[in-house]
Amino acid sequence: AQTVTQSQPEMSVQEAETVTLSCTYDTSENNYYLFWYKQPPSRQMILVIRQEAYKQQNATENRFSVNFQKAAKSFSLKISDSQLGDTAMYFCAFNNAGNMLTFGGGTRLMVKP
Amino acid sequence: GAVVSQHPSRVICKSGTSVKIECRSLDFQATTMFWYRQFPKKSLMLMATSNEGSKATYEQGVEKDKFLINHASLTLSTLTVTSAHPEDSSFYICSARNRDYGGSDTQYFGPGTRLTVL
């Protein structure tokens, strides 16, 4: 069974600064996908970024980028130039190509003005 | 693209009644949809996997006779909470898996339904 661990229950960052959210996972699979989802106060789950395990290049989406370390089973999310709208719960998730998503416990991020 | 709707967004019902929640993929076909339950300040807990044209697969501890799932078409799955009780009050979220959009296996989520059982 896969497990996903987010070791930071809460974090805060000043507006315009950079913050990194940690995520580690455990699996015996070789082919899988990793995701970061954002859940703002509206509670709508929004896909932030996705990484295929077979790709060595780290995924980026505008201000969001990941540091994917396959050997270490680490998948951190970096948010650059933080904005007030980035305030949300962030969930790291694992999917072994076709089956269910396994979520981490979440990190609550507060962006301060 | 990859939009999922959920209806209703909020529902309040009396104990003992049944409530149906609909999940629709608006711009793609989804052979597989998922139903989650989320408690306050907690992560999502998978309840069941809904497969179009076949029976749903329930996670351990989820009563299939209480949480009825029907996936009658490639764009619609429904969750019916039968004989609801106050302990069923929660936030229910559906997702739909899209294998075509973006070139990978990704789940897209509906906006959720807040169920309150009095």
The 3-state secondary structure of chain B, one letter per residue: CCCEEEECCEEEECCCCCEEEEEEECCCCCCEEEEEEECCCCCEEEEEEEECCCCCEECCCCCCCCEEEEEEECCEEEEEECCCCHHHCEEEEEEEEECCHHHCCEEEECCCEEEEEC
Taking the CA of residue B94 and the nearest CA in chain A, the distance in Å comes to 10
pLDDT in tens, A68-109: 999 999 999 999 999 999 999 999 999 876 568 999 999 999
- B93 touching chain A per CB within 8 A: yes
Query: Residue A103 is nearest to which of B44, B104, B105, comparing CB atoms?
Result: B44
- B43 touching chain A per CB within 8 A: yes
Taking the CA of residue B76 and the nearest CA in chain A, the distance in Å comes to 18
Lowest-pLDDT range of A96-100, B45-49, B102-106: B102-106
Taking the CA of residue A63 and the nearest CA in chain B, the distance in Å comes to 19
CB pairs under 8 A between A and B: 47
